[in-house]
Structure formats: structure tokens, C-alpha cells
Amino acid sequence: MISAGLECRSPRMFSVWSLIMTYMKNSDDAAMAASGLRDLTPLLKPRSVAIVGATPDSRRVGGRPLSFLRRFGFPGPIYPVNPKYEEIEGIRCYPSVTKLPESADMAIIAVPASRVIEAVRECQVAGIPSMTIYTSGFAEMGGAGERLEAELKSIAEAEGTLVCGPNCQGVANLHDRMVANFSSALSRDDITAGPIGFVSQSGLFAGIVAAECHQRGLGLGYLNSTGNECIVDFADMIAHMASDSRIRVVAGYLEGIRDGHKLRAALAIARKNQTPVIILKVGRSDESARAAASHTGSMTGSYEVYRAAFHQWGVIEANDVTELFDLIELFSLSPPASKGPRVGILTNSGGIGVFCADKVNELGLELPSLNPETSARILEKLPAFGSAQNPVDFTLQALSDAEAIGWHLKHMVSDPNVDVVLAFFGVQMLNVDALCAEIIKANKVNEKPIVVGWMLGDPSLPGQLRAEGIPCFNDPLRALKAIRALVAGPISMREEVLPSDVDSAVAMVAQAVHSGKFQLGEYDSKQVLSMLGIDVTRGRVVANSQHAVAAAEEVGYPVALKVESPDIGHKSEAGGVRLGLTTSTAVRSGFEEIQDSIRIFDPNALIDGIGVYEMVTDAIELIVGIKQDPVFGPVILLGSGGIMVEMLKDSVVRVAPITKSDAHTMITELKIFPLLGGERGYPKSDIDAVADILARLSNFSLATDLISELDINPLMVLPEGNGACAADALIVLQVEQEKFTTN
């Protein structure tokens, strides 16, 4: 193997890393300024609102904002704008925003698409800094709609105008009684402000969330629909809501984003403020991604990369609509975080207890044995036919003896073997108030979370418990999924010393692009890797069979022969590879066979020579690399190599930058990790060397934007202490990217 030590660090890499760390260390305002996040105060906390296209008919889109603003008690001036009316609902109506007595902070635009540009320009002339555009007929329609939205974006950016939409249902800040959202879900009279901030790229979905929160007795702080996101986007909304101290949890419906780094900055602000962020990501399959793109014109990207980014950046991902609602409820009630995965289960049904025991394991939780003292104390007040083991089955005792249930619950939450308690009741119609009081009392005297399951019982209890900050679900699996979210805990960004020098490697790549190359062959790619401090197999490129034999004797048998050609991306398919050659005769024959195969495969292919490389044995093969994602930028890939590739479909991705600690976590997620760890008779592999390589590739990926792909296939992982080396490599440059990538 060839090793290369490296000494300095790339200034560009430092700038990217410094920007990321700024999100965590500086104030919210500084982080927003550094990342392109916008200050949405004029949009979400305006002092005055104009309604362009206002109408007295509250059933119409142009009529609802005035009705809602008045009903919710908006404290500032409201200016209806429509030349057809002199007044609406007793309020003077103006023919144009240029005739208003002052410049409103925000304008709602509810006019046909053909008149939106004119309306926006008038608002700009009137000095209005923010606008919410309800109107559809823009990029989501394609063609002329795309051109119209491009014009809208251009004039908004030119004046620094905040635009929410178009094609949205609007925004609402219920704490400040500003409802510029026309959703029917807000037409109720008993909607109250609360700790939940919600943003959606689907207007109707936002209304569904509002209705569900109302049904559960949960208060909304924000209900924001971003539509096509011409200017203001999903990340802007996340950052603003997470910066509001009145908000305990931020949630969102996401189809796709355009700027992954901006989302990262918004999520960093949320973590800094200890505000959980829950996202339901749709567009996971190719078909649904196309549907999402046609819905709002969003760029969906690869769901695999979204999932990796969410994992890295601390997003709690909901897998379905019900789970989204449940997680919103859970975190809006601010239960204490669980210090571990050990679940104590208390139930009136042995069958439910067994069901929960199965699901605990499936969800990655644990069902611990209770401390003997705990079981003994529970037995003191347990019916003879109950069970004092976890899950505790108190049978029908709750129907007549609420105090005993409180006793069981108190001792279970005090058990040192238990981190979180699920108290589940089925068909509980009697003794409900006393039982509720006991649950509330137990919750107040301990620091461990209590989650309640209430299935087909008295409907009054869930609301009483939620009012006391105790989450309550009507299905045991839903309750356990909520507990899993409590157990996961926050993810923090770690700062590490960046280990590798990338300047020489970046310079070599830049020179290749400057000279017109679209990819680097194996030999040059390995040179780049060596500059990064990554070990590669020894070898050199030769022009004839005589030199091939000399090279083979230099590196030592067995050797591999591989064609070097900028016109051949897949050497094996072209017949350009010979492996395991152990004699000079085999090398000569192999050299000639490769030449003949390439002439047949592509007579016009330019051949730079044939590489002669040492072969590494007694190693586990992995695939590692870099891929450019259109949304998130450079992504680091790790997967099983060799014969395992098609059989296992075993791969892990992370969005750069990653630390060495992150890389170690990636390795543990591989299906073949047990083999790397020394199980089934394999020697323990040098996992730390693999982690080091992944971290070095991450640093390199941030230092240049000239790489479309970098593949090391295979990476030969040797036994612990012996390192890992690249046996083959290919770097595809950004030139002619579409021809050589496989998105």
C-alpha cells in the first residue's frame, strides 16, 4: 500500500465548517444572517395589514381574512383594498394600496394570477415590506405559470420584499391575533393560542392539522402555509417559530426544499433553543416525488438523503399522519425526556401487556425486569390473580380502587430499572375521576415521563390529562411510538479537529477540469486519495506488456491489470480488467487480452495505458464515496462491497460535513457490521481506519465544487491495526455531470 501524510487544511473547508458552527454558537440573528434565513417579523407579526382583493363575502378567499382578523382581535389597523367597494364590514375600503393612510407592514393578495404582478408592484410603491399571496396559477402549473413566478421572484428579490406563496393558504400567528390564513379550520369560535408552531407546503394539510389540534384540545401558535415558496420558504418558517419563546414544538409537512444548508441553519436554531422539530416528509418514492413537484413546484431530491439529514440534524421524523399528530401532542405538553429506553408497563389487560412487550422490542425499546422491591410493594395491593412483573397486570382493580392504581404507578416510576412508564387502560368507564386524580398525582411527584393509553374508555379523561401535561393515546402502539420519540433525545453537532490537507488534491482536480477532463481514471484518482492521506494499492500505468511484467515484479504478485481510459467508465463491462495474475506469462497474456477487448468494445476509445496494481487479500470489501445531491450538496456514502453489494443492498449515507464520530456511527449501521466487528470467525477489522477515510472524504467534499462523484470500490478493510486501502477509484468531475452520474 502507498501511504501519504498530510499537513495543512483548506481555507474553503474552514469557511464552510465555521459557518456551520456559527449556527450553534452565535445568536439566532447572526445565524440567520450567515445562512440566508429571513427575518419574518413584518410577515408574521405585522402592525397593520392590507387586504388586496378584499370582498364582503366571507365565504370567498378575499373575504375570510378581514372576517378572521376582526374575529381573532387583530390589534392593528386593517385596510381592505378593492376599487369596487367604499367600505366592507363597516371599515373603509381603499381603491389602491397607494391610497392608504400609512404603509402597511403586510399585504394579503387575493386577486387573479394575471393581476398579481401589478398588485405586488403597487405594494412595493406603497412601501409594504411583506406579502402573502393566496393566488394559484404559477410554477405549479408549468409553462406560462413558471414564467409568471420567475417574474414575481425577480421583482420581489430586487426590492427585498418578503413573499409568502404564491399558491398558499396564508399565515397565522394566533398569539398576536394575526390570522391571514383563509383555512376553514380557523372558522371556529373557540380556537385558542398555544405552544404549537406548524408550517406546511400544502395549505389544506395545514387546515387538517389545525382541526386535529382543536379536537385534541391543543393550542396552535402558528399555522403557516408556504405554497410555492417564491421567496419565504420552509426553513425561514422553522427558524422564526423556533425562535419564539411561546412555542414548545415546531412541526411541518414537507414535500421538498431547494437549499439544504439553509434548513440545517434553521434546525440549528431550533436545537439551540431546545425546540423539538417534527417533520412529515412526503415524496419518498419516485412517483410521490413527481406528484409533490407538480403540487407546489418543489425540488424533492432523494428521500434517502433527507432521512440522513434529519437524523444528523435532530429532526423527529413522523412516518404517517397519525404519528405526526401524536408527536405534536407529545412535545406540546413538554413531558420530561426519558433518560433511557427501559419501559415499565402498567395495564388492566394481560393481552395488551403481551402486545406491548412484543412492540417494545420492535421499536428498539427495552422491557426491563422490575426491581424485586418494586414488585414486592406492588404485590401488597395487587389482586391475587394479577401480575407484579413487567408488564404489571392489575386486571379489574381500576374499576373500584383508584388508590391502588396510584400505588402501583408511584412505585413503578420510582423503580431504578425503569426510565419511562406506559399506563394503559382498556374500556375503563367507571371510577374515572378518581383514577385521573391518581395519575396526575403520580406525575407531579416524579421526574420520569408517564404516557397514558386510554382505549374505548370514558372520553372525558384524555382532555383532563392533557390539561395537566400528560400525553394520552387511544392505541398502545401509538403510545409506544411516542415513548420512542421521548427516548431518542436531542442530537448535537460536535466540533472536531479536521484531520486532512486538501489543498494539493483540490489543485489536482482543478487542473484536470481546466484541461478539459470530465473524469479522472484509477491512477489519477488514487493520486488524489493519497494527497488526502488515504492509503491506496501500489501500482503504475504502463504502455506495453514488457513494462507490465516489470511493474508486476516491482509491486509483487498477485497483481491486477486495469485499462486506463477517459472514455471507459466501467472497466469490467468493457473487458478491461484481469485479476489474480501470478506469473509473468499471465501478465503478458492479460495485457494483450485487455487491448483486444477494448478495441472491440469501443474502437475509438482513447487508451492512456494499462495499470498494474498489487492485490490485497484477506480483507472485507466496502464501497465509499462522495455524491452531489441537488438539495443538500455533498453526501458521503458507505456500503458493503464485493459479492455483498446486490445481495444485501447495504448502504448508509450522511450529508457532509461529518465527524469521525459520525463515521463510526455510519459503520455500525451497516448490515455487515457484525463481520467487521469480528463475529462469525472473521478477524476484527480496522474500523477506525474506515471512519478516518470517511471523515477525510467529507472534508474534501466541502473544499471543492468540481466533483460530481468520487467512488472507492472496493475499499479493502484489513484486520485491526493494519488500516484500509483503496483498491480502485474513480472521480467524475462536474463537467458533463449529467452523462456520468446516476441520479
Q: Per residue, what are the HEC states of 414-458?
A: HCCCCCEEEEEEECCCCCHHHHHHHHHHHHHCCCCCEEEEEECCC
CATH architecture of 1-35+502-537+616-743: 2-Layer Sandwich (3.30)
- The percentage of residues in the chain with a pLDDT greater than 90, rounded to a whole number, is 84
Q: Domain residue spans in the chain?
A: 1-35+502-537+616-743, 41-332, 343-488, 541-614
Q: Please give the grid coordinates belonging to residue 463.
A: 382532555
Quick one: pLDDT at residue 340?
Answer: 94
pLDDT at site 409: 97
174 phi and psi angles, rounded to 5 deg: -75, -25
Exposed/middle/buried for residue 735 (C-beta within 10 Å: 0-12, 13-18, 19+) = middle
Q: Give the model's pLDDT for residue 155.
A: 98
Give the fold, CATH level 3, of 343-488.
Rossmann fold (3.40.50)
* CA atoms of 356 and 479, how far apart (whole Å): 10
Residue 25, pLDDT above cutoff 80: no
pLDDT band (50, 70, 90) for residue 288: low
Residue 14: the pLDDT is: 35
The residue-averaged pLDDT of 567-573 equals 86
pLDDT digits 0-9 by tens, 236-277: 999 999 999 999 999 999 999 999 999 999 999 999 999 999
Residue range 541-614 forms a domain whose CATH class is alpha beta
User: Would you state the pLDDT for residue 224?
Assistant: 98
Structural class in CATH, domain 41-332: alpha beta
CA distance 513 to 332: 52
Let me know if the fold of 41-332 is the same as that of 343-488.
yes
pLDDT of residue 642: 74
C-beta of residue 595 within 8 angstroms of C-beta of residue 614: no
Here the cell at position 345 is 408497563
Average pLDDT, the chain: 91
**pTM of the complete model:** 0.88
Whole-number pLDDT of residue 631:
94
Residue 150, pLDDT above cutoff 70? yes
- In the predicted model, is pLDDT for residue 458 greater than 90? yes
Q: What is residue 648's predicted lDDT score, i.e. its pLDDT?
A: 74
Q: How confident is the model at residue 296 (pLDDT cuts 50, 70, 90)?
A: very low
Q: Is the pLDDT assigned to residue 726 strictly greater than 90?
A: yes
**pLDDT at residue 10 is higher than 60:** no
Round to the nearest angstrom and report the end-to-end CA distance of the chain. 33
Question: Residue 494 pLDDT more than 70?
Answer: no
Residue with the larger pLDDT of the pair 344 and 285: 344
Taking only the tens place, the pLDDT of each residue in 42-79 is 999 999 999 999 999 998 999 999 999 999 999 999 99
